[in-house]
Structure 1
Amino acid sequence: MQMQDRHQSLQQAGVNEAEVSKLFRNTYSLLAMTLAFSAVVAFISMSLRLPHPGLILTLVGFYGLLFGIHKTRNSGMGLVLTFALTGFMGYTLGPLLNMYLGLPNGGQIVSMALGMTALVFFGLSAYAIMTRKDFSFLSGFIMAGFVVLLCAVVASFFVQMSGLQLAISAGFVLFSSAVILYQTSAIIHGGEDNYILATVTLFVSIYNLFLSLLQLLGVFSSD
């Protein structure tokens, strides 16, 4: 009886490991495709010099598509909306990149921000995967960070302070890094079983990380 229980436990562990591996493959395959699609849309947006949709339309589009993805996460429509969301975010990125590229050292700033984003993402992901540590304890920090950053962003509309903008960007770097660790750990330890939601979470974290580093580098490199 004891041998049978042990055999069942080992078999269950093998099944769980296979499910985690499949979830990783699906998540990172979809993440790679959405990043590539978003980059193409951003390039088109830059080439055509399309105007930025503005804060209100950006928020409505982002949260509207995000709501739709959560509702359809277990269907093919969830994939369609995921590409719609990442494409929309790529479109909003185009005008911002044009603005930075218009600076004297804009190309260097964008390249550095892109390289640092890749380094942070792959470094944190590799650390979570190799150590297999459980980062679920970061959930409280992430929730608190979201509330603090939201209040800071709202305050920035009424108080024009360069120091506040700098603090918000630095805060988003820490927040996005924590989310990457948390989400990767959730995939490993069973806290997340939907590759569409995992992909969207990681994509948004990478997007915010890149924008925040872009803003920080833009400030520090200015005369």
Structure 2
Amino acid sequence: MIETVYKQENALPAVLRAFAISLAFALFGLIAGVFVPPALILPLVMVEIGMLLFAFFLRRRKSISYTFLFTFTFISGITTYPVISYYLVSMGANLVLAAVGTTFIVFTGLAIYATTTKRDFSFLGGFLMAALLALISIGLFNFFFPLSSGGMLAYSFIGVLVFSGFVLYDFNRMKQMGVSPEEVPTMALNLYLDILNLFLSILRIFGILSSND
């Protein structure tokens, strides 16, 4: 029992290392996205969604592999490139960098708080999953019936709250329950999705506010 707890505690730095490497692969994918034809972006998005669904159902039986993690984040970087490119053109590099900096500050602050507080945020799990499903549903609705700028702003602020909650929940869960070595890639994927969606929500807010000025 003591040995198991020891291994779980030692796996926490491994999650952060895998998470950092995941961000590096996403950055490589972002750079590669410059050279990917626009016609391939949608098929890659479908592959990305398929991998997410596979990972969601796989987690009930076993954890994902590092190969799966890094492949997914690389593809995610490619599919994120058109979004970043759009905001670079419409907002300028300074606002995009401001969104990156804001995301880093929020993510790091929440991570530190979640791993140092004595509070248990496990109660957030069900609420966050319901909120995520609601965000997905609204996102699909927006695809067919675009929201107004005010509606999209509200949607983006809710996204910031939801994914901030996921950051709290995931880091706090690792602190409360520990992480086995087999779970490291899965937890790193969770953190990657947290920060990516937090960033995209903040980027949308900056974009809407800048367009209204």
State the TM-score, normalized to the length of structure 1: 0.82
> Aligned AA for 1:102?
V
Larger Rg: 1
Percent identity over the alignment? 31
1:111 to 89, 92, 97: 97
Matched, 1:216 2:205: yes
Q: Give unpaired runs (5+ residues) of structure 1.
A: 1-10
After superposition, the Cα gap between the structure-2 partners of 1:118 and 1:107, relative to the gap in structure 1 and judged at 3 Å, is: same
Say which is worse superposed, 206-215 or 140-149, in terms of deviation: 140-149
Give me the whole-angstrom Cα distance separating, in 2, the residues matched to 1:52 and 1:15: 48
Give 1:33's match in structure 2, choosing from 13, 18, 21. Answer: 21
The one of 28, 32, 42 aligned to 2:30: 42
The match for 2:76 is: 89
Residue in 1 that maps onto 2:160: 173
Question: Of 190, 193, 196, which residue of structure 2 is paired with 1:207?
Answer: 196
Conserved 8 A contact 1:23-1:187:
no
Within 5 Å, which residues of 2 pair with 1:121-132? 121-132=107-118
Report if aligned partners of 1:69, 1:82 keep a CA contact under 8 Å in 2.
no
Q: Which has the higher contact order (CA 8 A, sep 6+)?
A: 2
Displacement of 1:23 = 2.0
Aligned residue in 2 for 1:187 = 174
Q: Supply the distance in 1 between the matched residues of 2:43 and 2:139 (Cα, whole angstroms).
A: 14
Paired letter, 2:32: I
Change (3 A) 1:116 1:110: same
Shift of residue 174, structure 1, vs aligned partner: 0.9
Structure 1 residues 101 and 210, CA, compared in 2 at 3 Å: closer, same or farther? same
1:54 Cα deviation from its structure 2 partner: 5.3
AA aligned to 2:27 is A
Once structures 1 and 2 are overlaid, which stretch shifts more, 200-209 or 66-75?
66-75
Aligned length: 207
CA spacing shift, 1:207–1:30, aligned 2, 3 Å: same
**CA 1:163–1:191 in 2, change beyond 3 Å: closer, same or farther?**
farther
Change (3 A) 1:120 1:156: same
Deviation at 1:29, TM superposition (A): 0.3
Distance in 2 (CA, whole Å) between partners of 1:24 and 1:89 is: 24
Say if 1:69 and 1:202 are closer, same or farther in 2 by CA, change over 3 A: same
TM-score, normalising length: structure 2: 0.86
Cα drift, residue 144 of structure 1: 2.0
CA contact (8 A) 2:124 2:165 kept: yes
CA contact (8 A) 1:68 1:78 kept: no
Question: In the superposition, relative to structure 1, how do residues 162 and 127 fare at CA in structure 2: closer, same or farther (>3 Å)?
Answer: same
